[in-house]
Structure 1
Amino acid sequence: MKPRFLVHALIATALIHVGSHATAETAVRKPVKAEAVKPAAKTAKPVAKTAKTAKTSPAKPAAPKNKVAAKPAPKKVVARPAPVQTPADDGGALELDARGNPLLRSAAFYVANQATGEVLLERNGSAVVPIASITKLMTAMVVLEAGLSLSEELVINTEDIDQLKGTGSRLSLGTRLTREEMLRLALMSSENRAASALGRHYPGGLRAFVDAMNVKARLLGMSDTRFHDSSGLNPANVSSPRDLARLVTASAGYPLIREFSTTHERHVEINGRLLRFGNTNALVRSPDWEISVSKTGYISEAGRCLVMQAWMHQQPVVIVLMDSAGRYTRTADAQRVRKWLDLQAAERVAAGPKARQG
């Protein structure tokens, strides 16, 4: 009995060994077999896996993803209200109204031939509105008419810091520049601290300077105009497009205002560092434009503004654009005015021979 029992035990052991070997071999081969048999399932898996990961992964949860996707629309609406950005910032594509006049996006404008006095385009020409840094043209005239030394050094101090709007400046406290350099930066780069320093260093101080600005406005017949500071940060500085056309015309009579307001850029040494200042009106760098006087302006109450005297078809044209919606709208509107005047000139040339024949 014992030998037979021993034989049975050996046979049973052998069978168990064979069975376990077969199971182990099957376990090793299964993944390979599954890959070969179900390729479609594997291709589909990453999609499900990605979704699963998005739900479970702390780094990229599903909720934030949806938030990011939903945010762009509200942001645009808040940052650029009704962004007249689509049509208005199109580089100045010309569209005409029923009367053949260009469709401008500025809230108020006034365009006139300075030589003849003819008003070419106008909307809300008598509206009294904040003028922002257009103010600096009057600041420059008062400084130049005072006959003060342009080589005298002026110093930026705490009184020149903008407490009203909180704007910054690269003219740090203690900056020393000549009156001429301050004037250049105020006109070209619309430097508010430079304009403030110019007013402060006037005989009698800033109050006397502002009084002189208002007297000069009366002398120019600018009855809609009031000044309260020399920089234009104060929204109480107001005027009308018609008055500003007078201001531009008067400014064109000062060689330094013509030069400084149309300078492309200037490198100035400030506290041992050479800083570049650029013109706030990109059109002065365009070969398509011949600009004699230029000034931009912006505060929230005024919107974006631009005034210029530009030569077109051998005629000086004064352009006043106020409260333009969108960052580039004032420039685009100026381009529209120029294209419209080009179109009119071409039509006159074409009509000339016919008129003579008739």
Structure 2
Amino acid sequence: MANRILIKVQCFLVLIIIVLINGISVFAVSEAPEIKGVSAILVESKRGQVLFEKESKSRLHISSANKMMTALLALEKVGSKIDTPVTISKNAAAAQGSILNLEVGGKYSIQDLVYTVILTSANDSATALAEYVGGDFQSFVNIMNDKARELKMTDTNFTNPTGLYDEAQYTTAYDLAVLTRFALSNPYFEHMFSSQAKLWTNQGKVEVITNSNNLFWSYNGIDGGKTGYNEVERQTAITTATRDNLRVISIVLDSPEKSVYDDSTKLLDYGFNNYKTGVLVKKDQTLKSISVGDKPIDLISPIDVYYTFPIGEDYIKAIDLKLKEGIELPVLKTEVAGTMKYILKDNTEIGIDLYPAANVYSSVDMFSSMVKYMIEYRDITILLFILVGIEVILVLVKIFKGLKNALTKVLSRSKI
């Protein structure tokens, strides 16, 4: 019996040694989820690291892409003036599909129209925004496609601002993730995208419109969402969620109505259960030490740098260091001295500018700098010399008085 226990213990120790030697992670990433949607992708929001994908480059007709792009372009057009009024044309009021029955000639703010596009996919609102931004239908479509090219959405083509079906119109889950990440960098878009509900006034009636993404009310950490479809059994769900400093974007395309939220939940669970965001490089951490002349210099990152990685792995494939050519003294801590590039296993590249931890001067440089400063700020230098001279005189007077008092005491004692 004792021998059997000993053998089991020995086997366990051997297994531990093998794991340590071969670097096998005990925190293996769980099996990828089964997604019923035709296409899907899960990305980390800050750097766009792809955590999961299924047919992410397949071209599909996705109306939500049109709505997202239309809303973004409208907000970029007005900047901070989101209360800018838009007059509703007959063309906008006659829009087909999902609508809010906007009043012809009525005035609605850019902010309110964008809210309705994101929360309820209102086609009349999207048409009104397109006419305001582009002046006419085709001009706005050109702006949409120009923006897509700017963002390198290489598998996207728009033919209208609403997303109504057109066989010449397409995008991909990957491109939609690119668009979502960029749109979230706009604070107004991000705020509206994260809204669950909004008071809406139309033709004198006040009502509450709510976000069509039901995960707001069923999944912990949801902080953004949009849904849409052209056919009931081909649903789109775009969802963002944050837990433990990790924010992810889940995109499910052409999923059956009964499974679109189940697909989204599986994606989000997969991301949060298997990945985390942590510090890659700490602020003021010495990344490289060099010598310039006879002076040692530590190169640091002035900020904390974060990245996302599978739990239990460092996820770093390679590190590339490039120092600035011809570094000479003086070396100032405000000037970039090189770059440290971390290449992750998913080929994400993270470049970190390296700065000297402190200013480093040669002896000649310090003297030259002092002389140059004194010449450049002559008036201040003269004032400093005067102040120093006065201080020296005061000190000497104090010393003289002290000596005089001491001498007087000695003389008075000798007379006694």
TM-score (norm 1): 0.63
Go from structure 1 to structure 2 and tell me whether the alpha carbon gap of 1:166 and 1:219 turns closer, same or farther (over 3 Å shift): closer
CA shift, 1:247, in A, is: 0.5
Per-residue CA deviation, residues 146-181 of structure 1 (Å, 9 max, x unaligned), is 237432322333312466x55443434444311221
CA shift, 1:186, in A, is: 1.1
Q: Point out the more displaced range, 244-253 or 134-143.
A: 134-143
Query: Aligned partners of 2:136 and 2:48: how far apart in 1?
Result: 37
Q: Which has the higher contact order (CA 8 A, sep 6+)?
A: 1
Note the residue ranges of structure 1 that are not aligned, 5 or more in a row: 1-98, 353-358
In structure 1, which of residues 330, 341, 349 is the aligned counterpart of residue 260 of structure 2?
330
Structure 1 partner of 2:85: 153
Question: Is it true that 1:256 corresponds to 2:183 in the alignment?
Answer: no
Per-residue CA deviation, residues 168-214 of structure 1 (Å, 9 max, x unaligned), is 43434444311221111111222111111000112532222111111
Count, aligned residues:
250
**RMSD value over aligned CA atoms?**
2.7
Question: Is it true that 1:187 corresponds to 2:143 in the alignment?
Answer: no
Question: Is it true that 1:213 corresponds to 2:144 in the alignment?
Answer: yes
Tell whether the 8 Å contact from 1:161 to 1:193 is kept in structure 2 after alignment.
yes
Query: Aligned partners of 1:253 and 1:162: how far apart in 2?
Result: 33
Task: Give the counterpart letter for 1:299 in structure 2.
Answer: N
Structure 2 partner of 1:339: 269
Go from structure 1 to structure 2 and tell me whether the alpha carbon gap of 1:158 and 1:321 turns closer, same or farther (over 3 Å shift): same
Question: Is it true that 1:139 corresponds to 2:70 in the alignment?
Answer: yes
Task: Give the counterpart letter for 1:300 in structure 2.
Answer: E
Q: Determine helix, strand or coil for the equivalent of 1:245.
A: helix
Task: Give the counterpart letter for 2:125 in structure 1.
Answer: A
In structure 2, which of residues 175, 179, 197 is the aligned counterpart of residue 265 of structure 1?
197
Q: Determine helix, strand or coil for the equivalent of 1:316.
A: strand
Tell whether the 8 Å contact from 2:45 to 2:248 is kept in structure 1 after alignment.
yes
Note the residue ranges of structure 2 that are not aligned, 5 or more in a row: 1-29, 277-309, 314-416
Question: Is it true that 1:297 corresponds to 2:228 in the alignment?
Answer: yes
Structure 1 partner of 2:33: 102
Q: Determine helix, strand or coil for the equivalent of 1:130.
A: coil
Structure 2 partner of 1:240: 172
Query: Aligned partners of 1:161 and 1:233: how far apart in 2?
Result: 15
Structure 1 partner of 2:241: 310
CA shift, 1:237, in A, is: 3.2
Go from structure 1 to structure 2 and tell me whether the alpha carbon gap of 1:274 and 1:147 turns closer, same or farther (over 3 Å shift): closer
Tell whether the 8 Å contact from 2:239 to 2:264 is kept in structure 1 after alignment.
no
Identity %: 23
CA shift, 1:117, in A, is: 4.0
Task: Give the counterpart letter for 2:54 in structure 1.
Answer: R
Structure 2 partner of 1:43: none
Q: Determine helix, strand or coil for the equivalent of 2:221.
A: coil
Structure 2 partner of 1:124: 55
Tell whether the 8 Å contact from 2:119 to 2:212 is kept in structure 1 after alignment.
yes
Question: Is it true that 1:196 corresponds to 2:127 in the alignment?
Answer: yes
Per-residue CA deviation, residues 50-83 of structure 1 (Å, 9 max, x unaligned), is xxxxxxxxxxxxxxxxxxxxxxxxxxxxxxxxxx
Go from structure 1 to structure 2 and tell me whether the alpha carbon gap of 1:243 and 1:262 turns closer, same or farther (over 3 Å shift): same
Query: Aligned partners of 2:115 and 2:123: how far apart in 1?
Result: 12
Query: Aligned partners of 1:294 and 1:156: how far apart in 2?
Result: 27
Per-residue CA deviation, residues 12-46 of structure 1 (Å, 9 max, x unaligned), is xxxxxxxxxxxxxxxxxxxxxxxxxxxxxxxxxxx
Whichever structure has more strand as a proportion of its residues is 2
Query: Aligned partners of 2:174 and 2:43: how far apart in 1?
Result: 9
Query: Aligned partners of 2:104 and 2:217: how far apart in 1?
Result: 31
CA shift, 1:106, in A, is: 0.9
Tell whether the 8 Å contact from 1:280 to 1:296 is kept in structure 2 after alignment.
yes
Structure 1 partner of 2:102: 171
Query: Aligned partners of 1:216 and 1:187: how far apart in 2?
Result: 19
Q: Determine helix, strand or coil for the equivalent of 1:160.
A: helix
Query: Aligned partners of 2:98 and 2:222: how far apart in 1?
Result: 31
Q: Point out the more displaced range, 143-152 or 176-185.
A: 143-152
Structure 2 partner of 1:111: 42
CA shift, 1:263, in A, is: 1.2
Tell whether the 8 Å contact from 1:134 to 1:297 is kept in structure 2 after alignment.
no
Tell whether the 8 Å contact from 2:248 to 2:268 is kept in structure 1 after alignment.
no
Task: Give the counterpart letter for 2:64 in structure 1.
Answer: S
Whichever structure has more helix as a proportion of its residues is 1
CA shift, 1:248, in A, is: 0.9
Tell whether the 8 Å contact from 1:113 to 1:315 is kept in structure 2 after alignment.
yes
Task: Give the counterpart letter for 1:257 in structure 2.
Answer: F
Task: Give the counterpart letter for 2:129 in structure 1.
Answer: L
Tell whether the 8 Å contact from 1:131 to 1:302 is kept in structure 2 after alignment.
no
1:272-287 equivalent positions in 2, closer than 5 A: 272-286=204-218
Query: Aligned partners of 2:230 and 2:164: how far apart in 1?
Result: 7
Tell whether the 8 Å contact from 1:184 to 1:260 is kept in structure 2 after alignment.
yes
